[in-house]
Structure 1
């Protein structure tokens, strides 16, 4: 019984560490997502421009995600960054399953089974220039952890796309305050 309690506490601590912006209450399940989401148009490379602090990207620059189609109909996920201190590349791979309009669940390889799949909700995209992605995880039923990403097709996008994405975030009742700019310079050919 004592070991079960320890495992539950450990699982909760892992969940807390995965999401960096904590809020009281449970995740809002009514945040609107792209209703006619077209996964095929979404495939390809997306550069991270801004995000809420996120443990997996701590100390990273030149961050991008590459999405492809798997034979089973799921989406392959490849996330890449360069460590700002060491200059060494970091990457992680996984897969995503569409679970609703604009809603995906992502599972990364080599993660402990108790971590489970992460929500990946596309709040808005024009497929050609920008996307706004939201993830929220309920923790113990009374607190939640949130992450928001602004992604663009170009490493150095026109500012209008960042502003459009920020408007989407704000109009969904999410805060712009935690957003941090992702360094996309000194990336070489990555």
Structure 2
């Protein structure tokens, strides 16, 4: 019985790690270039960001060497900002864009960077543990249409349902 409980706990705690089989993390990743503020340009819908506009993510170094994650978005329904603070750590090596992120204690989910502007780190294509989680991030609130097209095509080729993409509004509501 103890062995079964240990297996179940392991699945719950680590079941959200991994990635879709069609996704490969970028290599040659440089965390120092990735740190700072990112704007969410597009995402697949999920409960923890539902109804949010002007979504940003800010990454900085924690005192333990991990990454502090601060996600922020504006709820048009509640007319207020919502924030979630988390932490992230590399799963394998520090030059691979594959991290585990947690906003809820010991529970981690995958953060897989599978597309990146390696020159300037102007945009990133990010997956979660499966094809239900997908984000397009950029250093500015808008992004060139060619990059959005490349993101959409690459994501569709990898099995994401890009017809469900939500493009995030970054202008203040009136």
Q: Above 0.5 in TM-score? A: yes
Count of aligned pairs = 158
Shift of 1:187: 6.8
The counterpart of 2:73, out of the listed 60, 81, 84, is: 81
1: CA distance, partners of 2:157 / 2:51: 29
| Cα distance per residue 1:63-90 (max 9 Å; x no partner) | 0100011232211100000101122010
2: CA distance, partners of 1:167 / 1:59: 25
Secondary structure of 1:91's match?
strand
Is 1:93 aligned with 2:85? yes
Matched with 1:150 is 136
Secondary structure of 1:65's match?
strand
2: CA distance, partners of 1:163 / 1:29: 22
Shift of 1:47: 0.5
Cα 1:169/1:39, change in 2 over 3 Å: same
Matched with 1:170 is 156
Matched with 1:5 is none
Matched with 1:40 is 32
Contact kept in structure 2, 1:130 and 1:165, CA below 8 Å: no
Matched with 2:3 is none
Shift of 1:172: 2.4
Is 1:119 aligned with 2:110? yes
Cα 1:187/1:119, change in 2 over 3 Å: farther
Q: Gaps (5+ residues) in structure 2? A: 1-7
Following superposition, which runs of at least 4 residues in structure 1 exceed 2 angstroms of deviation?
A: 26-30, 170-175
Shift of 1:164: 2.4
Shift of 1:48: 0.5
Is 1:185 aligned with 2:171? yes
Secondary structure of 1:168's match?
helix
**CA RMSD in angstroms, aligned pairs only:** 2.7
Q: Gaps (5+ residues) in structure 1? A: 1-7, 13-17, 19-25, 138-144
Shift of 1:161: 2.2
